[in-house]
Amino acid sequence: QGPISGVNREIPVLQCHGDCDPLVPLMFGSLTAEKLKSMINPANVTFRTYSGMMHSSCIEEMMDIKQFIDKHLPPMD
């Protein structure tokens, strides 16, 4: 496990978590986001929570993921 340096420190990260997840408690998701912020540029880490979402997904989360992909990845031809 080496240090994160160079361009890798600037990688954008979107982390999503349901506030009712019975398998991975929200606290662990939040701690993971804070750890990421200590390893890479904290401005590039986005942590989103979704009300009532369990260990699954929801339409709001899927829309956030789509926006993230559209913003950070080049379009495919």
pTM of the predicted protein model: 0.87
Q: Which residues contact 44 (CB under 8 A, 6 or more apart)?
A: 10, 11, 12, 13
Give the model's pLDDT for residue 1.
53
User: Tens digit of pLDDT for each residue in 5-56?
Assistant: 888 899 999 999 999 999 999 999 999 999 999 999 999 999 999 999 999 9
- DSSP H helices in the chain: 26-39, 59-72
Amino acid letter at 20? C
Question: Is 3's pLDDT higher than 90?
Answer: no
